[in-house]
Structure 1
Amino acid sequence: MGITTAGSTTTAKVVGSLGVLAAAAAVAGMGTFGGFSDSTTPVSVPVATGTINIDATTTATVPVDASGLVPGASVSRAVTLANTGSLDLGALSMTIGATGSGVLTGPGGLQLTVTSCPVAWTAANSCAGTPTVVRTGGLTGQVPLAASSAMKAGQADHFLLTVSLPGTAGNQFQGQQSMVSLQFDAVQKTGTAR
């Protein structure tokens, strides 16, 4: 049997009370660190690339038969250039090339005039709108088409291509042949952050 004194009972009570207070503080502290949380449902964001697509069509026979061309004469063909892609263009150009007789393709030889019309050219090669001459010159070179309506997605430009033999052409132009090629090139617009 042990002997109990009044001081040790008080100490036991104080230690017991401190233990109860510590346990109560621990329980109360757990509530202090609680919290609520929430999350959204997944959001689907479609990401797709656009397309660049240009299409040149003509209602006339290509290649153009210009046989029998005499000085001062010309032959014309209408070509529709359509931007059938989903993106506006950053640059558009036409490259003109020619092979064959150097007399026809050189200085003073065949000339190519490119004229734009806001609507399709008629069968008689007339423009119901206001025509704009885009280029006049020899059979080689590159023509920037920055003002073309085909720069915009879903739009088209209507060109009349006229090849002419100058009226000053002499006998050295007789019996000559040349092949003219046209190529349209499109470049995308520079990407931007959205």
Structure 2
Amino acid sequence: YGAFTSSTSASQAVTAGTVTIALGAPGPANTLNVPVAGLLPGDKVEKLVTLANTGNSDLNNVTLTTSAGATGSLLTTDVTNGLQLTIENCSVAWTGATAPYNCTGTRSTVLASGPVIAANKALNNLTSLTSAKTDNLKVTTAFPTTANNDFQGATSTIAFAFTGTQRTETTK
């Protein structure tokens, strides 16, 4: 018996993408961790932070969850008279050595004003949804003028957790 044969082969390298959302290092462009004292009704606190997509994959969305844990007080539990949170994005770095900071580029709203404590709030108008892009965020915490004497001396520590979710799956 005689038989002809033929064979061929191939190999395919496969690498999974990375999803990484990161805050900038503490410093002038990231003041989110700097404590605030002496806040009075009507005051606003502006903090800067850079949010970067340092992974190699685009994101579908970024959400923010804020919490006060065991440090909750009227500042964080009263949704009307307690602290209110707003986040804005600037297409270039915010200017100014101290608050109020200015945007010399294009300004957009990332999170409309609402109670400071919230879970899984979708953030809008982010360029960091794209791999290797960064957002220049200004986080404003406002203490409403409607807060009464019950708020005097109240203290809380607010934790910020940003979560990036991978882009929608695709066929390659």
Q: Please confirm whether the aligned pair reaches a TM-score higher than 0.5, indicating the same fold.
A: yes
Q: TM-score, normalised by structure 2?
A: 0.81
The root-mean-square deviation of aligned C-alpha atoms, in Å, is 2.3
Q: TM-score, normalised by structure 1?
A: 0.73
Where does 1:79-90 land on structure 2 (aligned, <5 Å)?
A: 79-90=49-60
| CA 1:189–1:114: 2 relative to 1, 3 Å | same
For 1:136, which of 102, 110, 113 is the aligned residue?
113
1: CA distance between counterparts of 2:93 and 2:160?
Answer: 19
Q: Which runs of 5+ in 2 are unaligned?
A: none
Where does 1:1-194 land on structure 2 (aligned, <5 Å)?
A: 42-57=9-24, 58-59=26-27, 60-99=30-69, 100-105=71-76, 106=78, 107-124=80-97, 125-134=101-110, 135-141=112-118, 142-194=120-172
1:153, distance to aligned residue in structure 2 (A): 0.5
Question: Segments of 4+ in structure 1 off by > 4 A?
Answer: 36-40
The alignment partner of 2:162 has SS state of strand
Q: Which amino acid aligns with 1:192?
A: T
2: CA distance between counterparts of 1:190 and 1:72?
Answer: 42
Q: Which amino acid aligns with 1:114?
A: I
Query: Percent identity over the alignment?
Result: 38
Q: Which amino acid aligns with 1:174?
A: Q
Bigger helix fraction: 1
Q: Which amino acid aligns with 1:153?
A: S
